[in-house]
Amino acid sequence: AMGWLPDTKDTRDSITRTLRRYNAETISNPVPGIFRAIRTLYDANNPNMKMGIYVFGDEFSTSESADQVMRTLDQLNPADENGHRKIVINAIGFPTTIRYTFSMGNTGLRLANLMREVCYIHGGTFIALQDL
């Protein structure tokens, strides 16, 4: 079951251990996780609910187009009459695949382009790291 993790030292230590052991050779696509977080964690019945999503990634490797992603996000997180959205989406792009664009099919550039647009439209910030 998906839910909020408690903000404790043990939780943070567990996240750090997991990230250090993470297999960097996997195919990455943050989009299903973004959609799932919105669908399962956002409580539309709570008028005071605000939510921030933070994406950390290096690839957008899927046949799904950026336009398809943007349309779905607009349905899941619509703007109000003033253009504000209840869920803010932020992202940090790692440069790990951009160095190998010829062999990796530009998946790192696809992530940067997608997240720059998603963050702009959904009120967040995109940061592209030049080096790790």
pLDDT of residue 57: 84
**What is this structure's pTM?**
0.76
pLDDT of residue 95: 72
Give the residue from 38, 35, 21, 19 showing the smallest Cα distance to 94. 19
Judging by beta carbons within 10 Å of its beta carbon (0-12, 13-18, 19+), is residue 60 exposed, middle or buried?
Answer: buried
Q: Please indicate whether residue 30 or residue 129 has the higher confidence score (pLDDT).
A: 30
Q: Is the pLDDT of residue 110 over 70?
A: yes
Q: Is the pLDDT of residue 119 over 90?
A: yes
pLDDT of residue 118: 96
Query: What count of other Cβ atoms lies within 10 Å of the Cβ of residue 57?
Result: 22
Mean pLDDT of 71-83: 95
pLDDT of residue 42: 93
Q: Is the pLDDT of residue 98 over 60?
A: no
